[in-house]
Amino acid sequence: MVQEWIELAKLVGSRKITVERVRVEESGIVLEGEFQLPPLAKLGAEDQVFVAAFVRCHGSIKQMENFLGVSYPTVKSRLNRISKRLDFVEIVVEEKPVEALDQLERGEISVEEAIEKLKEARDS
Residues 15 and 43 in one domain: yes
Phi, psi of 22 (to 5 degrees): -130, 135
Return all residues near 104 (Cβ < 8 A) that are at least 6 apart: 110, 111, 113, 114
Residues 43 and 71 in one domain: yes
Q: How far apart are CA 100 and CA 110, in angstroms?
A: 10
Domain of 119, in residue numbers: 93-124
- Stronger pLDDT, 105 or 30, i.e. the higher one: 30
In the prediction, which pLDDT does 76 show? 93
CATH number for the domain spanning 73: value is: 1.10.10
In the prediction, which pLDDT does 94 show? 63
pTM of this structure: 0.58
Q: How far apart are CA 36 and CA 42, in angstroms?
A: 9
Domain count of the fold of the chain: 2
pLDDT digits (tens, 9 = 90+) for 76-100: 999 999 998 887 767 666 656 678 8
DSSP string, 8-33: HHHHHTTS---EEEEE-TTT--EEEE
